[in-house]
A = this chain, B = another copy of it.
């Protein structure tokens, strides 16, 4: 591998001069020497050793981001936003997948610290785990103490700059939407209980149902992995236990897609028999059938803002930007059916023990806010 001194030697100049030519230093260099250096660079196919440069300058240029999994569309979208701003500012982005393993997350913080990144961005749900949270905060604090910048997306536990999707409000929107459509028997396909995203969304949903005098019993909430197959499993469990459900809330779109798949495999009509609503509005949501009603989060924007916060030297006070959630109505939700929607498979017709109210006659909620959203 050719080095700077190789270039300098070939051009018949000192390494200092070569360096200045290559980096476009403000220090003037004769045109002739400049050309000799550039020619040598081309001839040797010289590329500066980035590590040596980083050691020599004290200027940190890369930015690290730790996500659960970039191939998950949720994070793919966020990453796209991060990338855009990073690239605009001439920063290199290093992406690390924790695969939802807290330990790996801690390791990556160290790794990124060792890489001398200018900022670390943590994207994705936090964990209900006090020990982990303390450990993580210690590590981040140590990093910040040496001038590193930290921004988080959707995490409560860190005290610095943060971009927060309004998961709880989103949960409330779902509750209101389903209530207006007349649904009273609602099941929830939830992500892992240790994730704050799961509990936040669930809390919001419970709040709005409670406001209408409805409760959400524990057995109507099934936890599984936050992905398509988790959605399949949780939906199956939910329906097996409660065939009279008229609506299924999936706490993210991947799970919702799993729910749709399971319902289709059981020949349950959506939304005629059962409505399904998701969360996140990932791009594919509009292309499944029926197109998925969901709660939109401005994912790309969340990424972009987080990167802006991270790269902005920053006010003394930590900045928290809460980004709103909004319902996107598509075809997977509809008015609650008036009779038990799901024929229990095999078993004799289960007693409809549910306390379903008469439900506003004429189907459809009192007034569907708008005929079609997004």
Binding site for B on A (CB under 8 A): 1-2, 45, 47-55, 70-71, 73, 76-77, 79-80, 83, 92, 94-95, 97, 110-111, 113-116, 138-139, 142, 146-147, 228, 257, 260-261, 264, 283-284, 286-290
Contacts and interface: CB of A to CB of B under 8 A. Distances in A.
A47 to B, nearest CB: 5
A49 B116 contact: yes
B83 A45 contact: no
Contact of A289 (B45, B51, B283, B288): B288
Contacts of A146: 1-2
Nearest to A97: B83
Stoichiometry (number of copies): 2
Nearest to A290: B289
B48 A287 contact: no
A114 B71 contact: no
A289 B50 CA distance: 49
A142 B264 CA distance: 55
16 contacts: A45-B139, A45-B142, A49-B55, A49-B116, A50-B111, A51-B54, A51-B55, A71-B79, A71-B80, A76-B76, A95-B95, A257-B284, A257-B287, A260-B287, A288-B288, A289-B290
Contact of A55 (B52, B97, B283): B52
Contacts of A49: 55, 114, 116
B83 A76 contact: no
Nearest to A115: B50
Contacts of A73: 71
A55 B139 CA distance: 25
A205 to B, nearest CB: 24
Nearest to A148: B1
Given A47-B114, A289-B264, A289-B289, A77 B71 contact: yes
Nearest to A73: B71
Given A1-B146, A70-B71, A257-B287, 18 more contacts: A2-B146, A47-B113, A48-B114, A50-B51, A51-B52, A51-B116, A52-B55, A55-B55, A70-B95, A71-B73, A71-B76, A71-B77, A71-B79, A95-B95, A228-B283, A257-B284, A284-B284, A289-B290
A284 B51 CA distance: 40
A51 B264 CA distance: 53
A150 B2 CA distance: 19
Contacts of A111: 50, 92
A70 B139 CA distance: 29
Contacts of A138: 45
Contacts of A260: 287
Contact of A50 (B2, B114, B286): B114
